[in-house]
Amino acid sequence: MPPSVWNILDFEKPIAELDEQIAEIKRLTQEQGQDRSEDIAALERDRDRLIQEIFSNLTAWDRVLLARHPKRPYTLDYARLIFDDYVELHGDRLFSDDKAMVGGIAVLDGQPVVFIGQQKGRDLKDRQYRNFGSAKPEGYRKALRLMRLAEKFRRPVICLVDTPAADCSVEAEERGISESIARNLMEMSRLETPIIAAILGEGGSGGAIGIAVADRVLMLENSIYSVIPPEGCAAILWGDPTRHKEMAEALKITSAEALKLGVIDEVIPEPLGGAHRNVEQTAKNLKAAIIRHLNELNKLPIDELTDKRYAKFRAMGEFEDLSLAEAQDAAASG
């Protein structure tokens, strides 16, 4: 099996077969000099119809697989396409430089910004180098240091989120992984500059929200945002990690569900077949959405901006007040 096959999800296989056919005809066209453009166009139409059909019936678990797709574009793939003049800055000034959390200064549509994001690795070596996108305390502290820099110069912060979870190793615990995330939550809630967060792939629990307390939270269509991975949750609650598909459904982790629950502000559409089939188009969509939100936020006085950010997260959650219900019952019966 060539490695490329491992990078294809089961439900993508019929699409990949058509892709191969198209590529083969294109190759023959070049070799033989025949014009087969009509055949190609027909096959491409078939393929696009097929993709549309498959993608209109995706399950929650399919979305998990897409969010973790080995070919899915990662943070720096987007950063290269979205920002100009990116200058990476390193280190938390306390302990080390976390390779799973990248960041620096950049220009977005003519506007200087601070960019922060979690970075996963592509091949085995790179994955280890990036610690699979799981940041340690020094990563969250580096992120906070860069946010302070942004605040000082009143530059907006753009956070690109893509992490399975924060690192939970012994060393992360020794250096206070909980404290580093908690501090970011508090400081981001009152940071005096606009913040936009976009979830690109995996929005994994505390690791994700540790850089996602933002004025606007966006999600790419096939990304997920979850308090726990479905496999882990199925193991813990149902004692059966093989029920991950069912759990993915129950946890409501897709972008559409997050929007319905009021946890995010906008779903950014991905091109046909998912972000990995057209990075440039995905980046274009993402960039346009970030700029649109930023232009709105830039108009707000800082006090109003931070008040609104507080109110936004303050309102999240669903519950009932029995004392109110009782009072109403009493009033009705009285």
Partner 1 sequence: MAAKWFRGKSARKVARQSVDALPDGLWTKCPECNEILFNKELEKNLRVCNKCGYHYRLTAWERLQITVDDGTFQEINAGLASVNPLGFPEYEEKLAGDRQKTGLQDPMVTGTAEISGIPIVIGVADFSFRGASMGSVYGEKVARAFELATDQKLPVIMFTASGGARMQEGILSLMQMAKTAAAVGKHDRARLPYIVVFTNPTTAGVHASFASLGDFILAEPGALIGFAGARVAKQAGLIHRPDNFQTSEFQLEHGQIDRIVPRREMKSTLVKLLQFCTGEGIKDAA
**Residue numbers at the binding site for partner 1 (CB under 8 A):** 166, 168-170, 172-179, 181-183, 185-187, 189-190, 205-206, 209-210, 213, 225-228, 231-233, 235-237, 250-253, 257-258, 261, 263, 310, 313-314, 316-326
Give whichever of 85 and 174 is closer to partner 1, judged by the CB atom.
174
Give whichever of 23 and 237 is closer to partner 1, judged by the CB atom.
237
Q: 190: which DSSP letter? A: T
CA 22 to chain centre: 31
In the complex, least distance from residue 267 CB atom to partner 1, rounded to whole angstroms: 14
- Structure tokens that stand for 10 in this block: 């089961």
Give whichever of 236 and 288 is closer to partner 1, judged by the CB atom.
236
Q: Are 276 and 72 in contact (CB under 8 A)?
A: yes
- DSSP H helices, 177-316, are 177-189, 205-209, 230-238, 244-251, 255-260, 279-298, 302-314
Q: Are 74 and 162 in contact (CB under 8 A)?
A: yes
Give whichever of 104 and 133 is closer to partner 1, judged by the CB atom.
133
Contacts of 36 (CB under 8 A, 6+ apart): 25, 28, 29
Angle between helices 279-298 and 75-82 (to 10 degrees): 70
Convert 84-123 to b/e letters by CB count within 10 Å (16 or more is b).
Answer: eebeebeebeeeeebbbbbbbbbebeeeebbbbbbbbbee
Give whichever of 49 and 190 is closer to partner 1, judged by the CB atom.
190
Distance CA 109, CA 299 (A): 16
Give whichever of 90 and 260 is closer to partner 1, judged by the CB atom.
260
Contacts of 58 (CB under 8 A, 6+ apart): 11, 66
Give whichever of 254 and 282 is closer to partner 1, judged by the CB atom.
254
In the complex, least distance from residue 111 CB atom to partner 1, rounded to whole angstroms: 26
In the complex, least distance from residue 280 CB atom to partner 1, rounded to whole angstroms: 30
In the complex, least distance from residue 59 CB atom to partner 1, rounded to whole angstroms: 16
Q: Are 126 and 101 in contact (CB under 8 A)?
A: no
In the complex, least distance from residue 184 CB atom to partner 1, rounded to whole angstroms: 8
